[in-house]
Structure 1
Amino acid sequence: MTQPAVTFQIKQLEEHFDTRLLDRGHGKITLTAAGELVLAYAERILGLSAELDSRVSELTDELAGQLRIGTSTTIAAYWLPQVLESFKRRYPGVLPRVVVGTSKLTEDRVAARDLDLGLIEIATEQPSIERRSAARDDLLVICSPDHPLAKFKELTARDLVGHPFIDRDPGNGIRQIADEFFEAAGIAGSQITLCAELGSLAAVKQLAAAGLGFAIASGRAIRRDVEEGRLVAIPLQPRLHTPLEVILPRDKFRSRLINAFADHVCEEFSRIAAEQDED
């Protein structure tokens, strides 16, 4: 909508309720007490409308409609495509809308009901979130074949001190697990030689392959790079894993479509992880 159209709609609402819904002044707009009340009821009305659409569509026994999915970058690139392909083949009328961000951002958006569900590496204990453990992925040190760490069969946190570290961006699930790995070994952040903080896994792998430092990455995400000789992957001691979790808003109406997709993700992630272990 254009700005004049928005202004007109608000004016009509204020005339209908015979009260101001917005306070305008000092370069900002805020809701009045009446505006807050109208907003709360509007959100409930929209929620009931969506629930009605889902309930009616379920009577046809055909899963269809929009599915708002949030996901971390690693899952989006290396896990989700296979899951979406198999789900779309089964239910072609489903329209997935995928939003990619950090695990923290995805969790916050699910908690705020902006997304139907999220697929992330690690969730916090937010009371408004329901968590389902789907599978787990190995975390490995990656570096170029010429890097001094490449000769090791396994690496402890102490072995990594002094080597430039290519870290992920704040809010990334794998970054959180890596931080906890170093902390458990008694290594402070000041002892880690930080090389870069990157939000893109592709950029992390590029810098590691160029010999600028080591990184900690998902085993599934670096398989092809290792097979083609661009990177070396070394297990950590103790072994490090990242959980793959499905998160949903707690105490929210959940359509059969959302439940079916959440179940499908858990099944597919488990199957893919089992195949990876066999390889």
Structure 2
Amino acid sequence: MADRRLQVFHAVAKHGSFTRAAEHLFMTQPAVTFQIKQLEEHFDTRLLDRGHGKISLTPAGEIVLAYAERILGLSAELDSRVSEMTDELAGQIKIGTSTTIAAYWLPDVLESFKRKYPRVLPRVVVGNSKLTEERVAARDLDIGLIEIVTEQHNIERRSAARDELMIICSPDHPLAKFKKLSAKDLIAHPFIDRDPGNGIRQIADEFFEAAGIAGSEITLCAELGSLAAIKQLAAAGLGFAIASERAIRRDVLEGRLAAIRLEPRIYTPLEVLLPRDKFRSRLITTFADYVCEEFARMAKDKDAVI
């Protein structure tokens, strides 16, 4: 029920960018610009200063932002309170998720949740775990699904499940003949790493550090944010990578990749994040509980690839 112009202005002010606000709101940039122009005409004053590639709030903009946050918060709470008087859950939920969870865990969860609650509208934003964590902390998201353990005080975390991490490489790679591999077994071979901020990269770094191996000792083949690209390079024999078992299952079963267990075995956590001390609707609480239950079930029921 909140004024759409206030919603758009709030997003631009929080993101500091028309482009990022448009992405967050699932709008085009011209549409965002139009809404801001309409709001400035309504108040007959400039709310944003645009210059040198940066956006800043004018004194009037600071006042409008403070009231916009209160109005939008009350509007969301009103919608939730009224919808909770009915038996059926409905409304929008903003979900942030890591790339691996988005591709290999979340689709099954969303499918079954939507069948149960068809009037719910999930809006999913995909990024690495660190970015998702930051957006939950900033209250830009209702819920985050990531692969690192957060200690941020303004985030409530729930450990839903875990997935084993394995070495992947071409079936013809020299490493493919082993049943298990230690960190020292790997340093002679090119490594296809994840992008900074990725949860699996953080765990891999800790794995090598625990074995006393410095980053300078590792031969880096590539650093990629796309798991599909990582699997393609590994399958082509250009190096080895570390990936979660669920993400590689089909590739291994169909013979495109070999999977080797690490020694000691390591796991990626599946964490559900919620902003602490923020009004939480029945929809958000129900979805968070559902994700935890489904992730735990999927982790328990899956068949191992090796």
TM (norm. structure 1) is 0.93
Q: Verify: 1:124 aligned to 2:150, yes or no.
A: yes
Equivalents in 2 of 1:131, 1:26: separation in Å? 39
2:135 corresponding residue in structure 1: 109
8 Å Cα contact 2:272/2:288 also seen in 1: yes
After superposition, where does 1:95-244 map in structure 2 within 5 Å? 95-244=121-270
Given residue 7 of structure 1, which amino acid in structure 2 is its aligned partner?
A: K
8 Å Cα contact 2:245/2:304 also seen in 1: no
Cα 1:132–1:28 change in 2 (3 A) is closer
Cα 1:93–1:10 change in 2 (3 A) is same
Higher relative CO (Cα under 8 Å, sequence separation at least 6) belongs to 1
Given residue 211 of structure 1, which amino acid in structure 2 is its aligned partner?
A: G
C-alpha deviations, 1:15-56, integer Å up to 9, x for none?
A: 6xxxx7556777865324453233112111111101100100
1:84 corresponding residue in structure 2: 110
C-alpha deviations, 1:46-103, integer Å up to 9, x for none?
A: 1110110010011012101111111111001110111111111111111111111100
- The correspondence for 2:300, drawn from 251, 262, 274, is 274
**1:110 positional shift:** 1.1
Given residue 139 of structure 1, which amino acid in structure 2 is its aligned partner?
A: L
User: RMSD across aligned C-alpha pairs, in angstroms?
Assistant: 1.9
**1:109 positional shift:** 1.1
1:55 corresponding residue in structure 2: 81
Given residue 41 of structure 1, which amino acid in structure 2 is its aligned partner?
A: Y
8 Å Cα contact 1:107/1:123 also seen in 2: no
2:37 corresponding residue in structure 1: 7
Equivalents in 1 of 2:51, 2:250: separation in Å? 57
- SS of residue in 2 equivalent to 1:99: strand
Equivalents in 2 of 1:27, 1:220: separation in Å? 42
> For this pair of structures, how many residues does the alignment match?
275
8 Å Cα contact 1:103/1:123 also seen in 2: no
- SS of residue in 2 equivalent to 1:123: coil
Equivalents in 2 of 1:111, 1:272: separation in Å? 27
- SS of residue in 2 equivalent to 1:142: strand
Equivalents in 1 of 2:256, 2:135: separation in Å? 36
C-alpha deviations, 1:156-197, integer Å up to 9, x for none?
A: 101101200000111110011001111111111100000001
8 Å Cα contact 2:150/2:157 also seen in 1: no
Equivalents in 1 of 2:90, 2:155: separation in Å? 25
Cα 1:28–1:146 change in 2 (3 A) is closer
**1:115 positional shift:** 1.0
Equivalents in 2 of 1:13, 1:84: separation in Å? 41
Q: What are the ranges of 5 or more consecutive residues in structure 2 without an aligned counterpart?
A: 1-30
**1:125 positional shift:** 1.3
Q: What are the ranges of 5 or more consecutive residues in structure 1 without an aligned counterpart?
A: none
8 Å Cα contact 2:191/2:241 also seen in 1: yes
Cα 1:2–1:80 change in 2 (3 A) is closer
Equivalents in 2 of 1:173, 1:36: separation in Å? 36
